[in-house]
Amino acid sequence: MNTPPPAGNGAEDGNEPLMTRRERRERAARLAASSSDAPFDQEQQSASPPPATQPVTEQPVSDQTAAERTRTSPYRSRPVTAPVPVTAPTTRSEQRRTTPYPTVAPPVLAEQRVTVPAAASVRAARAEPDTSEDETTYIPTRRSLREEQAPTGRRGEDDVVYGGVADLVPDHTDHEDDHPMDAAGYDEDPHARRRAGRSCLFLVLALALVLGGLGFAVTKVGLPHFGSSSSSGGDYTGNGTGSVNFTVNQGDSGAQIAANLVAAGVVKSASTFLSVADGNQQFTSIQPGTYKLREHMSSQAALNLMLNPASFVSTGTTIPEGLWDNEIFALLSKSTGVPLANYQKVTAASLGLPAAAKGDMEGFLFPSTYNFPTGATAQEQLQTMVNQGKAEYAALGIPASQLRQVITVASLVQAESKLGSDGPKVARVIYNRVAQGMPLQFDSTIHFAEQKRGTVTTTNQERASTSPYNTYLVKGLPPGPIDNPGVAAINAALHPAAGSWLYFVTVNLATGETLFADTYPEQQQNENQFHAWCQANPGKC
């Protein structure tokens, strides 16, 4: 069992002084230089002892007890046994691996029995390897090359900083660096050869995966909307015969269009059509609607005809700005042939209206031109208009909490303004009058309540109505939109003009000329111009 080292500070207790490994290595080099002419055996060492200031002694193992053969290493907390005879190394690499402090003596052959020198001498010999030719040829290892080529001032392997980061990293060089290198500079260790082979194999496999993935990506990215571009399905030739009304539905993908063309007998193969369409960027501009095509057309001829505006059979229906819901129903029914009653049966709840609509379609059927597919139902047509409105509100950045007020003001602007440039001014009058607590006194709100068109004026009886939409009596904004406004009116409500106007009047209904005033006397003068125009144009007011 190991015993703890004796207390003391080294030299004072008869032990070696505390030194770093670099100092011990330098001392060993000096000792080797002073005794370089002596044979490397026990008798010569006894005849030429080291200097008295730094004694290094060695006693025969057989004449000492275990305690006598124990001395203290300044770098270890456990005792280390003194050297014992070992088998002489046969190669320089084995000499480097021979430890000067073996705890168990290996078997010794009689014809090769030698005495292991002291630690300092071994280190000196290791620092200056013998290059005599009577020993085994010296073959460098990776570790020895690193040691010999280490630059001056670099911390050597003996200059270990204990307790530092280096102590946390395991040293794997003891087994990897002691294998000699062959003439080509490769490690003779067969395990290293296998590791290198595996590394090359992994590199080849990784490269193959990268190249294969790139090819897959190119194949797929080339047809992001259509899928496979294979043209193995065949194709017709020529421009085809007969006539086919082909419908592109809202939301159809390229693959769906190709499949529908095959089903209609227009082209022979969906994959062939997709391969042709993928090479033409204009294919993405095809709009929903009906196209007049032919039977048994080549894929290229079919694509060319679909891109020709003359082949488009317009089923578009234009919904003007400012119409009421029932007026839109009538217009859609007349344009598409769907019975009016079908539109009247559609409930607001089934259309997914914005919360600001409060369950009422009025104001939220967005006016535009729509190309409804053939056979589109009343539900589908109205749903398309509602969806278009949602998209427009989002594009304009209208907050959900303000949507109802914005659409209400926009509907008033749409009804009262005939010229686009007057819209922001009308919006400003609305905001100014509401802010001052003045009733709007708009005839258009009474027309909506009465569902009456044809005049721009109202009667005394109509202005006495108790409807919440009677802005002659009720201050503030009406309860909701009074029509379905377009983009220009919505923008005017969002961005009113700067001004202090409180009044306006259209003085020429034919041209839409409108005058604005800050005071009521100014307004009265402007109204006189309106009355003069009405007298000059009977039945128009």
> Who has greater pLDDT, 375 or 94?
375
- What span, in angstroms and rounded, lies between the C-alpha atoms of 54 and 37? 20
Structure confidence at residue 110 (pLDDT): 42
181-185, 217-221, 299-303 — most confident range = 299-303
Q: Which residue has the higher pLDDT, 175 or 372?
A: 372
CA nearest neighbour of 414 among 486, 513, 331? 486
Q: Which pLDDT score is estimated for 413?
A: 97
Q: What pLDDT, on the 0 to 100 scale, is given for residue 381?
A: 95
**Which tens digits make up the pLDDT trace of 239-257?**
999 999 998 877 788 999 9
Query: Is the pLDDT confidence value at 17 over 80?
Result: no
* Averaged pLDDT of the chain: 74
Is pLDDT at 97 greater than 80 in this prediction?
no
Residue 40 in this model has a pLDDT that exceeds 80? no
Does position 36 have pLDDT exceeding 90, yes or no?
A: no
| Residue 258: pLDDT over 60 | yes
User: How many other CB atoms are found less than 10 A from the CB of residue 205?
Assistant: 10
Distances (CA, A) of 317 to 339, 365, 369, 489: 15, 13, 5, 21
The secondary structure of residue 184, as a DSSP letter, is T
Specify the pLDDT at position 120: 46
The dihedral built from the CA positions of residue 134, 137, 140 and 141, taken in this order, carries a sign that is negative
CA 409-387-423 angle, 5° bins? 25
According to the model, what pLDDT value does residue 197 have? Answer: 55
Question: pLDDT tier at 25 (50, 70, 90 boundaries)?
Answer: confident
Looking at residue 117, what is its pLDDT? 47
DSSP 89-117: PSSHHHHHH--SS-SSPPP--GGGB--PP
pTM for the whole structure = 0.50
Is the model's pLDDT at 116 over the cut of 70? Answer: no
Residue 145 confidence class, pLDDT cut points 50, 70, 90: low
Most confident of 174-188, 301-315, 373-387: 373-387
- Give the mean pLDDT of 175-196: 47
Work out the average pLDDT over 353-362: 96
**Closest to 22 measured CA to CA, from 173, 129, 153:** 153
Determine the average pLDDT of the residues in 412-435: 94
For the residues 21-41, what does the mean pLDDT come to? 69
How crowded is residue 327: how many other Cβ atoms within 10 Å of its Cβ?
16
Residue 217 has pLDDT above 70, yes or no: no
Average pLDDT, stretch 483-501?
Answer: 96
For residue 31, which of 98, 122, 107 has the smallest C-alpha distance?
A: 122
Q: What pLDDT score was predicted for residue 431? A: 98
What percent of the chain is modeled with pLDDT above 70?
59
Beta-carbon neighbour count of residue 19 at 10 Å?
Answer: 15
| Between residues 250 and 442, the one the model is more confident about | 442
**Residue 22: what pLDDT?**
80
The 10s digit of each residue's pLDDT in 316-355 is 788 999 999 999 999 999 999 999 999 999 999 999 999 9
Question: What's the average model confidence in pLDDT over 396-425?
Answer: 94
* In the predicted structure, residue 74 carries a pLDDT above the cut 90: no
Tokens describing residue 353: 């209206």
Question: Is residue 208 very low, low, confident or very high in pLDDT (cuts 50, 70, 90)?
Answer: low
Mean pLDDT of 199-219: 49
- Looking at residue 520, its pLDDT comes to 96
Q: Is the pLDDT of residue 158 over 50?
A: no
- State the pLDDT confidence band at 397, using cuts at 50, 70 and 90: very high
Residue 30 confidence class, pLDDT cut points 50, 70, 90: confident
- SS (HEC) of 68-85: CCEECCCCCCCCEECCCC
In whole angstroms, give the CA distance from residue 442 to residue 104. Answer: 113
pLDDT higher than threshold 90 for residue 478: yes
| Cβ atoms < 10 Å from Cβ of 329 | 23
Give the pLDDT band (50/70/90) at residue 23.
confident
What domains does the chain contain, in order, with CATH numbers?
241-314 (3.30.1490.480), 317-396 (no CATH), 402-536 (no CATH)
- Round to whole Å and give the CA distance between 261 and 293: 10
What pLDDT is recorded for position 399? 95
Provide the pLDDT for residue 440. 97
Residue range 219-239, pLDDT digits in tens: 332 333 434 334 457 899 999
* Phi, psi for residue 105 in degrees, rounded to 5: -75, 125
Confidence band (pLDDT; 50, 70, 90) for 358?
very high
Q: What is the pLDDT of residue 140?
A: 56
Q: What percent of the chain has pLDDT over 90?
A: 46
The pLDDT assigned to 484 comes to: 97
Question: In which band, very low, low, confident or very high, does the pLDDT at 418 lie, cut at 50, 70 and 90?
Answer: confident
